[in-house]
Amino acid sequence: MSANLNTSVSGTHSAITSPQCINPTTQKIGQTFAYCLLSIVSLAGNIFMGITVYSSKTLRKPTKLFMANMAISDLLYPIFLFPKNLTQLYRGQYFWSVSGRLGETLCKLVPFLADAFNAVSILSVVLIAMERYRAVVFPFRSPLGSKFCALSIIATWTTSMALHLPYLFAFSLMEHSEEKKCEPQWKKTFEDSFPFETYICAGSILIFFIPLFVTILLYVIIILKLKSQMTPGEQSANALTHRAEREWKVLKMSIAIVMTIREMSLNENTSNNGTHPVMPPALCFNPVTRRIGETIAYCLLFVVSLVGNSFIVIIVPKTKTVRRATNILIVNMAASDLLYPIFLFPKNLTEVYLHSGLVSGDVGETLCKLVPFIADVSTSVSILSLVLIAVDRFGTVVFPLRTPFIGSKLCRFLLLATWIISLAFHLPYLFAFSLVEYTEGTKCALQWNEALGDTLSLKNYILGACISLVYIPLFLIFLLYLIIILKLKPQTTPGEQSANAVKRRVKRELKVLKMSIAIVLGFTICRIPLTIRLLLLFFPPNISMIESCGFKYFAYVSHFLNHSYCAINPCIYFIFSGNYREGLKYLFGLRNSSSK
């Protein structure tokens, strides 16, 4: 199911507040104890980290130097921020105990340095990922030099401080009932020339989301590359094993740091360090920012989906090594995923800017019926193809000596069946969707009751679609893969007399199994949230939940995830399958046809 059956819920977002489960005194005691404990551990731990790296020559390597840079920034964090937090815990938010010029200076410096230190930590994590990438992917290149490390460390501080310079102008001491409070005076300082919402959104993207994306991408590449392969100069298996173990240890520590930074940064973004007012998430989604973000996202998804799925459709017929039932079914999925960028993304981009259909008349009416119909048919074909892939894998692994469950003739019939079933199930769309005139323009709307009356309830149709086209197929898929995993053991079968033959067979099946499971997990993560959203929308526990801000954000995320699956799928194929990568090289003339 796609977002086409979504019914818009209008109205203002209701505030989401958490109940006061802890009385104020208990909360203050707990927070005081926590701040004191964190101060001691942070000060002692980061000081020891800096001293250890400085005093030990064996630790003076790029990764350790970048970690020492993080330790320095983390050391300054409790020195400046924890005393302020303790003071405001007992005297109220924004309370400032120091007045005069010193108080004004501290009011500007403390929030500035606190968020700058946080940014230094995140940028240091990126540098660590880059250094690990270089060490693992290019093991025989010279390591990063001391000068480069020093310049990189300086760059983390200058970049972080430059980004947070507006704090020095915006924060100021203000009089409130004979009390001094340190508050951000953003509008008063910058007026309309530099909106606070834009600054927060830009800062989150530049200092958190982009670095996090780059870091995760680098570690994904590292994990894919860090396999037990003999490299020049390592003639023994022991040397290879020692190198792999050494790199894995450093990699685990680096990933642990990344996950910690991610969690801490998300929490800090929620509370904004306590130095300025809590920013509601909706501020990052003002109309202009949202349009820009959606435009970039749809254009990126359009290119990746169109190019990636086109390559899959072309590669399989041209490459002999992938002309098997599983890969033919994958081509069927890729063909269905191609329909998404061709039909749905242009419509979505049009609605982002015009909030109405671009084409009217008979052509507009036809497109209004066809676009949602084709989009959901594409989703159904994908899930049915996944079921057939699981059945094919089940037959190959559990009954390796039998003829394939899905032969070439049966495969063609089943491919046709996936499309016929999907088209038949979504036929009501051709009657229910229609152009409707509104004051703001013509829109393609779902007119279910007007078209079908009481013959087919929309709620029953949604429930039936979610169960029969999503949940039952996924249950069968997970059941089949569970049996496959239990059966896929290195046991000899008649005709395989050597242990090496068994190992090769198991290794080959495991590779295909990993790719198949990755495809299923991708489908589950991207498609299931939308079905949950639709079920909650049509069968809500209470109306207040549907009107809540949290549900609206969940709806937005589920909508985007649903669209992103058609772009993620081809990426999974190329990451997990060497045959697809070789086919791509052959397509561009980088491999001889004899190798295929």
- pLDDT tens for residues 422-442? 999 999 888 888 888 877 677
pLDDT at 282 over 50: no
Q: Which CA distances in Å does 349 have to 227, 340, 344, 358, 530?
A: 42, 13, 9, 10, 20
State residue 420's pLDDT score: 94
Q: Is the pTM of this model over 0.75?
A: no
Give the confidence band of 501 by pLDDT, cuts at 50, 70, 90: low
Name residues whose C-beta falls within 8 Å of residue 596's C-beta, 6 or more positions apart in sequence. Answer: 318, 319, 320, 321, 582, 583, 586
Q: Which residue has the higher pLDDT, 314 or 257?
A: 314
Mean pLDDT of 172-191: 73
Q: If you average pLDDT over every residue of the chain, what do you get?
A: 73
β-sheet bridge partners, residue 528: none
Best CA proximity match to 213, nearest among 304, 126, 301, 302: 126
pLDDT of 577 above 80:
no
Confidence at 330, pLDDT banded by 50, 70, 90: confident
For residue 249, pLDDT over 70 is answered with: no
The amino acid occupying position 520 is V
Two structure tokens written together for 522: 């991708």
| Cα distance between residue 221 and residue 213, in whole Å | 12
| pLDDT for the residue 200 | 75
The phi, psi pair for 436, rounded to 5°, reads -130, 135
Q: Which amino acid is at 209?
A: F
What is the SS3 assignment for 588?
coil
Distance CA 298, CA 301 (A): 5
Average the pLDDT over 89-118 and give the result: 73
Please tell me whether residue 130 adopts helix, strand or coil conformation: helix
The Cα–Cα gap between 376 and 566 comes to 12
Sequence-ordered list of residues with C-beta below 8 angstroms from that of 181, at least 6 positions apart, any chain: 94, 95, 96, 173, 174, 175
Rg (CA), the chain: 29
Name the pLDDT band for 500 (thresholds 50, 70, 90).
low
Burial label, 135 (beta-carbon count in 10 A; 0-12, 13-18, 19+): buried
Residue-wise pLDDT tens digits, 48-89: 777 777 776 666 677 778 888 888 887 776 776 767 676 666
Per DSSP, what are the bridge partners of residue 458?
A: none
Query: How far is residue 67's CA from residue 73's CA, in Å, rounded to a whole number?
Result: 10
Candidate from 53-57, 254-258, 470-474 with smallest mean pLDDT: 254-258
Residue ranges of alpha helices (H) inside 56-145 are 62-91, 100-137
Asked whether residue 12 carries a pLDDT value surpassing 80, the answer given is no
Dump strand ranges (E) for 334-466. Answer: 433-438, 441-446
Residue with the bigger pLDDT between 201 and 317: it is 317
Model pLDDT, residue 139: 76
Q: What share of the chain is helix, strand, coil (3-state, %, to 5)?
A: 75, 5, 20
pLDDT digits (tens, 9 = 90+) for 370-402: 888 998 899 899 899 989 988 888 888 888 777
Mean pLDDT of 465-472: 88
Task: Indicate the pLDDT class of residue 321, thresholds 50, 70 and 90.
Answer: low
Residue 20 in 3-state DSSP?
coil
**Is a pLDDT exceeding 80 seen at residue 476?**
yes
Q: Which one of 52-61, 212-221, 473-482, 492-501 scores highest in mean pLDDT?
A: 473-482
* pLDDT confidence bin for 4, thresholds 50/70/90: low
pLDDT given for residue 417 in this prediction = 93
Q: What is the CA 366 to chain-centroid distance, rounded?
A: 35
Question: Would you give the end-to-end CA distance of the chain in angstroms?
Answer: 38
Q: What is the 3-state secondary structure (H, E, C) of 155-201?
A: HHHHHHHHHCCHHHHHEEEEEECCEEEEEECHHHHHCCCCCHHHHHH
Tell me the average pLDDT across 461-476: 88
- Average pLDDT value for residue range 244-264: 51
Residue 323 has pLDDT above 50, yes or no: yes
Q: What is the pLDDT of residue 288?
A: 63
Is pLDDT at 128 greater than 70 in this prediction? yes
More confident residue, 260 or 319: 319
pLDDT > 80? residue 262: no
Q: What is the pLDDT of residue 42?
A: 75
Is residue 404's pLDDT more than 50?
yes
